[in-house]
Amino acid sequence: MSVALFEPYTLRSLTVPNRVWMAPMCQYSAEITGPNAGVATDWHFAHYGSRATGGTGLILLEATAVAPEGRISPADLGLWNDTQKEALRRIAGFLKSHGTVPGIQLAHAGRKASTNRPWEGRGPYTGEACWTPVAPSPVEFDEGYPVPTELSVERIREITGQFADAARRALDAGFEVVEVHGAHGYLIGEFLSPHSNHRTDEYGGSFENRTRLALEVVDAVRAVWPEDLPVFFRISATDWLGDAGWTGDDTVRFAALLREHGVDLLDVSTGGNGGPAQIPAAPGFQVPFASRVRNETGLPVAAVGLITESDQAERILADGEADAVLIGREMLRDASFARRAARELGAETHAPSQYAWAI
């Protein structure tokens, strides 16, 4: 009997050895200031390397800023220069050498930029390295956050180019999947939602205008990314704000457009854009959004969110609700989640020879 969770999965010419993938999760552990700002450290090498030796099929590195002002915190990874690229090359190479597909998420934090690392207290960063965030509209994320600077059309187009430049560097560093971060209330998601986008020009108002930046970024990334390698897009399928925000219906409509623009898989999350959101968090609570996109548009999807058990993950795939699962916090708790799941389900996954007797 086959185990869906450990069947290979092919997108374009790339085959991922299994469907247990690691979700992008910020580590807030990059160099903070000076010429090495945004550069990956030994923490990142050990963190991602251990998940690769744990049998994970694909690892998406955390939100990696395409510009200095696009970092969520001063300690975020960046990919706006070649020093950052070379530090990431070592990580991508190690993942690949142990049978794991290396992927990276490219991001711009928008109005949620320049914040503290979570363990230092949530809210705006007030140190010497702080900066004023930018956004589609001059609307603060939440009480106590700064009013961001509204982006001009010229600056919007510069940011689109920064995503393309970062994608080129990611490719040169050895990554085989690139994901555009359009979720969780960061810049691209801010443009998508009427809750945060109050513009009246070609980037605001109608659905077509609010999705313009996202599609322009996808086009710019797809233009520099090889035709035979996949591009992912992460979305918050709903703001949990009803019609005042982005909705599940919007996501289905948008997913069809993303497919036309060359996106190969939608990474389906929810929330993060502020406001009076009531999020019914429970095991697998976001899976129905992924399932709906897959069934109504045919675009492959990855499900994420409180997926913690091997049989739960297997059921999602076996029932046709998703094409892969992205494991988040459970993989922080257990670097070898994939090997444990294979053992529990009677399947096999890759592991280094040094660990062979522990499979």
DSSP structure string for 327-358 = E-HHHHH-TTHHHHHHHHHT------GGGGGG
CA 145 to each of CA 11, 142, 256: distance values in angstroms, whole numbers, following the listed order: 40, 6, 35
Its CATH architecture, for the domain 4-358, is Alpha-Beta Barrel (3.20)
Q: Tokens in use for 209?
A: 């205008």
For Cα atoms 160, 90, 348, give the angle at the middle one, nearest 5 degrees. Answer: 100
* Mean pLDDT, residues 186-210: 98
- pLDDT reading at 61 higher than 70: yes
Helix (H) or strand (E) holding 45: helix 42-53
Q: Is 186 a catalytic residue?
A: yes
DSSP-derived 3-state class of residue 209: helix
CA distances from 115 to 71, 74, 125, 316 (A): 9, 8, 4, 35
Would you place residue 355 in the very low, low, confident or very high pLDDT band (cuts 50, 70, 90)?
confident
Q: State how far Cα 152 lies from the chain centre.
A: 25
End-to-end CA distance of the chain: 19
Which residue would you say has higher pLDDT here, 166 or 348?
A: 166
- Nearest-5° Cα angle at 49, 61 to 102: 40
Q: What is the pLDDT of residue 57?
A: 98
Tokens of 306: 């409180």
Angle of helix 337-345 versus helix 310-318 axis, rounded to 10:
70
Contact between 313 and 283 (Cβ < 8 Å): no
Return the higher-pLDDT residue of 330 and 129. Answer: 330
Residue 358 confidence (pLDDT) above 80: no
For 181, the token pair is 């971060």
Q: What is the pLDDT of residue 119?
A: 94
Instruction: Provide the residue ranges of all domains of the chain, joining segments of one domain with +.
Output: 4-358
Confidence of residue 1 (pLDDT cuts 50, 70, 90): low
Which token pair is 299?
A: 């675009």
Q: How far apart are CA 176 and CA 264, in angstroms?
A: 13
Say if residue 65's pLDDT is above 80: yes
Q: To which residue do tokens 């129905």 refer? A: 288
Give the pLDDT score at 214: 98
Q: What is the pLDDT of residues 268-311, one digit of tens each?
A: 999 999 988 888 889 999 999 999 999 999 999 999 999 999 99
Which run of H or of E encompasses 169?
Answer: helix 153-173
Cβ contact 114:133 at 8 Å: yes
Say if residue 359's pLDDT is above 70: no
Q: Round to whole Å and give the CA distance between 276 and 338.
A: 36
Instruction: Give phi and psi for 183, each to the nearest 5.
Output: -115, 180
In the structure, how many helices (H) and strands (E) does the chain have? 11, 12
The pLDDT tens digits of the residues spanning 11-50 come to 999 999 999 999 999 999 998 988 899 999 999 999 999 9
| Pairwise CA distance, residues 325 & 311, whole Å | 12
So what's the pLDDT on residue 275? Answer: 85
Q: Which of 48, 125, 186, 203 is catalytic?
A: 186
Give the percent of the chain with pLDDT over 90: 90
Confidence of residue 203 (pLDDT cuts 50, 70, 90): very high
Q: What mean pLDDT do residues 124-129 have?
A: 87
> Is residue 133 predicted with pLDDT exceeding 70?
yes
At 91 the pLDDT is 98
Higher pLDDT among residues 354 and 171, named by residue: 171
Instruction: Supply 216's token pair.
Output: 């322009």
CA distance 16 to 161: 29
153-173 and 212-224 helices, crossing angle to 10°: 30
- Residue 304 token pair: 């994420």
User: What pLDDT is attached to residue 96?
Assistant: 98
Q: Give the tokens for residue 158.
A: 């510069």
pLDDT tens for residues 164-190? 999 999 999 999 999 999 999 999 999
- Which pair of tokens denotes residue 61? 């590195």
SS3 state at 274: coil
Which pLDDT band holds residue 135 (cuts at 50, 70, 90)?
very high
Q: Does the pLDDT value for residue 317 go beyond 70?
A: yes
